[in-house]
């Protein structure tokens, strides 16, 4: 478990066993303390690669993107919902790991080029009710079928309105949507380089 910490930029792991201060260009969102739901399939085998990609689940972002996500989370909670974080910063070595398992550019960005996730400027998110139960978004995270498209034609009314609510929360906080994946949002107001920084795990 990640514990709340006085310093915004540090993660305290497993009680007092290890306190790690992140480099200052990174912010760790403390999902539980900040009212988010952290559900990161890449830290488990239940993802499209069927491999555990991350050693542990952490939501790291560049400071401006982290502030924007926090703003979106606050708006969501004010409306009685919670933002579910599926993925955020993805270190370049992990991108390579994914690409080695699924070397298909339709699903995994080429590590040689990298993606906004590798810059710490993209998040994959969904919406949950106040108890943390994921709303019906009309498809699952990383379901690379036509259902992934925001404007998938066969969506039900509620599914469409849930996607629209998520999009409104995220764009209202400064993110840009991606038509191809209802869960993916980019932060483009500031640029950062691709990164190989690996977050600490217990
Ligand atoms: Zn994404």
Render pLDDT for 11-67 as a digit per residue (tens, 0 to 9): 544 444 445 677 879 999 999 999 999 999 999 999 999 999 999 999 999 999 999
Give 166 Cα–ligand 1 centroid separation in angstroms. 14
Q: Whose CA is closest to 23, among 201, 202, 158, 199?
A: 199
Asked if the structure places residue 151 within a domain, the reply is: yes
Render pLDDT for 176-191 as a digit per residue (tens, 0 to 9): 999 999 999 999 999 9
Give 42 Cα–ligand 1 centroid separation in angstroms. 12
Number of folded domains in the chain? 1
Asked if the structure places residue 134 within a domain, the reply is: yes
Render pLDDT for 116-173 as a digit per residue (tens, 0 to 9): 999 999 999 999 999 999 999 999 999 989 999 999 999 999 999 999 999 999 999 9
The residues that bridge with 11 in the sheet, in sequence order, are 20
Q: Is the dihedral of CA 156, 123, 104, 141 positive or negative?
A: negative
Render pLDDT for 52-105 as a digit per residue (tens, 0 to 9): 999 999 999 999 999 999 999 999 999 999 999 999 999 999 999 999 988 988
Asked if the structure places residue 12 within a domain, the reply is: no
Mark whether 64 is an active-site residue.
Answer: no
Rounded to whole angstroms, the Cα distance separating 111 from 133 reads 33
Asked if the structure places residue 24 within a domain, the reply is: no
Asked if the structure places residue 9 within a domain, the reply is: no
Asked if the structure places residue 196 within a domain, the reply is: no
Domain carrying residue 139: 34-186
Give 167 Cα–ligand 1 centroid separation in angstroms. 14
Give 21 Cα–ligand 1 centroid separation in angstroms. 26
Helix (H) or strand (E) holding 172: helix 157-172
17-25 contacts at long range (C-beta below 8 A, 24 or more positions apart)? 17/202, 18/200, 18/202, 20/200, 22/60, 22/199, 23/197, 25/62, 25/63, 25/120, 25/192
CATH of the domain at 106: 3.30.1380.10
Residue of 25, 64, 176, 181 marked catalytic? 181
The number of helix segments (H) and strand segments (E) in the chain equals 4, 10
With a CB cutoff of 8 Å and minimum separation 6, the contacts of 145 are 139
């Amino acid at each position: 478990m990640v514990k709340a910490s006085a310093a915004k930029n540090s993660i305290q792991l497993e009680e007092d066993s290890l306190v790690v201060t992140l480099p200052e260009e990174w912010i760790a969102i403390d999902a539980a303390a900040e009212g988010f739901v952290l559900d990161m399939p890449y830290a488990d085998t239940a993802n499209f690669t069927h491999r555990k990609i991350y050693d542990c689940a952490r939501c790291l972002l560049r400071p401006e993107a982290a502030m924007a996500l926090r703003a979106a989370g606050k708006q969501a909670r004010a409306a009685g919902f919670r933002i579910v974080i599926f993925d955020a910063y993805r270190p370049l070595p992990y991108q390579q790991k994914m690409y080695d398992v699924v070397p298909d550019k339709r699903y995994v960005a080429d590590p040689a080029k990298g993606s906004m996730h590798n810059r710490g400027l993209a998040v994959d998110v969904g919406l949950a009710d106040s108890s943390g139960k994921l709303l019906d978004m009309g498809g699952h995270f990383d379901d690379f079928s036509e259902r992934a498209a925001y404007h998938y034609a066969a969506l039900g009314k509620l599914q469409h309105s849930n996607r629209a609510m998520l999009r409104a929360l995220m764009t209202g906080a400064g993110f840009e949507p991606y038509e191809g994946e209802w869960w993916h949002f980019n932060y483009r107001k500031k640029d950062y380089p691709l990164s190989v920084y690996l977050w600490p795990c217990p």
